[in-house]
């Protein structure tokens, strides 16, 4: 279906104590050399600091477009963090794909693995602390430069330089940008919510949209975006 894009880095990280009391994170990820096994819970050697909200089968692999780095440099300056892939805690880095060209449910082959786009990323406060920008998570959400997650339908090995190739697109009318805007713009329109609920949503997103439809109210994201007060 597609010529695909080349993955320029596969990255993993280990969970370590983070910036606020009691917090842990593996957002600092480094490129891996050679073949890396991608299993149902992600890349071998990769960890999550808070498995309640990160990781799991529906967030096994995080992809962030290198294409967005230029826009972030224009906004934030030439931060050292933006000099190489991994600034956003991504497992896969590439150019040529973004949230407007990737659809919910897209299936991609990568090396011996088969990946399925499960959801867009909903950024959290750990990005604020990583970048030293107090509203970084909100900026990521508001710009739509969020990246996305895959579930792993077929485990396999992959390496930097392998081609990520689209093999199936069951929801061509739903690029991630459209779905993420529905969430981030706090849409309450019943027709739009009902249409989105026909999609193969992860349980947490389905719950959010069903609640909006039933109550005509939007959720409070303050804790996710701003995080707990330190101490």
| Cα 56 to Cα 78: distance, rounded to the nearest angstrom | 33
Question: Has residue 169 been placed in a domain?
Answer: yes
pLDDT category, 2, cuts 50, 70, 90?
low
Number of independent structural domains in the chain: 1
- Mapped onto helix, strand or coil, the DSSP state of residue 196 is helix
* Confidence at residue 216, expressed as pLDDT on a 0 to 100 scale: 95
Q: Is the pLDDT of residue 229 over 80?
A: no
Query: Rounded mean pLDDT of 88-105?
Result: 98
The neighbouring-strand residues paired with 163 are 6
Instruction: Indicate the pairing of strand 163-168 with strand 156-158.
Output: unpaired
Q: Is the pLDDT of residue 179 over 90?
A: yes
Q: Is the pLDDT of residue 84 over 50?
A: yes
pLDDT category, 3, cuts 50, 70, 90?
low
Question: Has residue 42 been placed in a domain?
Answer: yes
| Cα 216 to Cα 171: distance, rounded to the nearest angstrom | 26
Question: Has residue 231 been placed in a domain?
Answer: no
pLDDT > 70: what percent of the chain? 98
pLDDT category, 230, cuts 50, 70, 90?
low
- Mapped onto helix, strand or coil, the DSSP state of residue 59 is helix
| Cα 80 to Cα 193: distance, rounded to the nearest angstrom | 40
| Cα 91 to Cα 42: distance, rounded to the nearest angstrom | 9
For the entire predicted model, the pTM comes to: 0.95
* Confidence at residue 228, expressed as pLDDT on a 0 to 100 scale: 82
Calculate the alpha carbon distances from 85 to 27, 72, 149, 205 in Å: 12, 13, 16, 28
Expressed as residue numbers, the domain containing 159 is: 5-226
pLDDT > 90: what percent of the chain? 94
pLDDT category, 231, cuts 50, 70, 90?
very low
111-140 per-position pLDDT tens digit: 999 999 999 999 999 999 999 999 999 999
* CA Rg value for the chain: 17
Per the listing, tokens 């606020």 go with 20
21-67 per-position pLDDT tens digit: 999 999 999 999 999 999 999 999 999 988 888 899 999 999 999 99
Report the mean per-residue pLDDT for the chain.
95
Query: Rounded mean pLDDT of 185-204?
Result: 96
Question: Has residue 191 been placed in a domain?
Answer: yes
Return the CATH number at 105: 2.40.33.20
Q: Is the pLDDT of residue 219 over 50?
A: yes
């Amino acid at each position: 279906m597609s010529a695909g894009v080349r993955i320029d880095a596969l990255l993993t990280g280990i969970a370590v104590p983070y910036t606020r009391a009691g917090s842990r994170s593996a957002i600092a990820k480094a490129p891996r050399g050679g073949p890396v096994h991608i299993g149902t819970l992600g890349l071998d050697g990769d960890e999550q600091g808070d498995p309640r909200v990160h990781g799991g089968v529906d967030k096994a692999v995080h992809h962030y477009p290198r294409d967005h780095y230029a826009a972030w440099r224009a906004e934030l300056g030439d931060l050292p963090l933006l000099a190489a892939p991994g600034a956003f805690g991504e497992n896969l880095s590439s150019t040529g794909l973004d949230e407007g060209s990737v659809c919910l449910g897209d299936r991609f082959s990568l090396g011996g693995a088969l990946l399925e786009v499960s959801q867009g990323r909903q950024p959290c406060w750990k990005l604020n602390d990583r970048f030293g920008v107090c509203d970084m998570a909100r900026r990521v959400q508001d710009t739509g430069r969020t990246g996305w997650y895959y579930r792993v339908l077929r485990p396999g090995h992959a390496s930097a330089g392998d081609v990520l190739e689209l093999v199936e697109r069951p929801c061509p009318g739903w690029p991630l940008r459209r779905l993420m805007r529905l969430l981030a713009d706090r849409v309450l329109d019943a027709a739009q919510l009902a249409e989105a609920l026909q999609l193969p949503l992860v349980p947490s997103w389905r719950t959010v949209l069903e609640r909006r439809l039933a109550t005509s109210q939007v959720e409070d994201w303050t804790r996710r975006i701003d995080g707990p007060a330190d101490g």
